[in-house]
A = this chain, B = another copy of it.
Amino acid sequence: MTELKSIASPAIQMEDRAHEADHPSSLVAKFGTEQPLKLDCGVDLAPFQIAYQTYGELNADRSNAILICHALTGDQHVFNTHPITGKPGWWDTMVGPGLPLDTSQYFIICSNVIGGCMGSTGPASTNPATGKPWGLDFPIITIPDMVRAQAMLIDRLGITTLLSVVGGSMGGMQVLQWTAAYPDRVFSALPIACATRHSAQNIAFHELGRQAIMADPDWHGGRYVDHGSHPHRGLAVARMAGHITYLSDAALHRKFGRRMQDRDLPTFSFDADFQVESYLRYQGSSFVERFDANSYLYLTRAMDYFDIAADHGDVLAKAFKGIKTRFCVVSFTSDWLFPTSESRALVHALNASSARVSFAEIETDRGHDAFLLDVPEFFDIARGFLQSAGRARGLKSGG
């Protein structure tokens, strides 16, 4: 069956990925045993490292730093060629000279999350106790753990208060966690297409992806590197499930409808007759080249566990009590993974906390993925919000 080949690319960069996990093509902040990362599960993780990229220059009074938090399958390579795929940075529409996250004006930082696979310590990293990849011996991490690690990086960089923390989807969760955990260190916050907790439907989609990975015999209980394998088929299926949730029904209809792939009539076979099938197969097979299957398990789990209100007696407003951070909450009308109602609930809680908040519900049919796409209204809002925050903090426009 040719179908199997379509999601089982032979070009998996296993060695490249393994190398990146320990020796990233990035800046690296290393933390020794005297500076453990205190995880929510009770484990002190040490030593550990954080891989990160920066763009632009930190100004003299260290007031122009913006932290970007990446999404589930993102990484620190926001605005440079990706070291494994060779593709452009994942947010080069938003970050760059003259763009809303203006690298000629701001000092932009993005770090790979703890649990990731691009150089921050995670299940693909070498466990110093064994000399082999951590695999499932890596402790379960949470969104607060990711943010705690980022705060240690920001300390290391000598920055007390960030001009802004910005991110979409899982990145938006981190933005919110930053404001809840370190309100005095976040001058402004731009959470995009996210929620303060993961819904049952979102947990269900993640569980589907995890089961697809763990059902792949090449997963070997997470010890696939020892077996010279990678559960690329299960991971590709997990990615396909994710991709369906990132697009709206309308976007899928507009992009593909029921159009056939290079043919006019059905083949009466299990070939990818429809364009949407080819698209999903491609998304699955290209993803497995760059991403680690165990990382996918850990990061989806972290998102599932996320629930800010739960740590505050189930009253969301308490999480933001007395906060001075300026918020701009952005949602997209056709996002069904993080529906705009979730953002509205967040805005209500912020209002109840007397926080400064603006809310932009952007009309688009492009679904959750809109935060990664060229959506001019969104760009204008982000630009204006950051410029306004910069002015309030005494930044001169233009750097």
Contact = CB atoms under 8 A, between A and B. Distances in A.
Interface stretch (A159-167, A196-204, A344-352): A196-204
Nearest to A231: B215
Given A215-B237, A249-B199, A208 B280 contact: yes
A205 interface: yes
A307 B178 CA distance: 49
B204 A41 contact: no
Interface stretch (A61-69, A109-117, A255-263, A382-390): A255-263
Interface in A282-337: 284, 297, 301, 304-305, 307, 310, 336
B200 A258 contact: yes
Given A270-B301, A274-B304, A253 B200 contact: yes
A133 interface: no
A140 B268 contact: yes
Interface stretch (A3-11, A47-55, A94-102, A149-157): A3-11
Given A208-B244, A266-B305, A252 B200 contact: yes
Nearest to A248: B201
A40 B211 contact: no
A139 interface: yes
A274 B241 contact: no
A249 B208 CA distance: 15
A203 B249 CA distance: 11
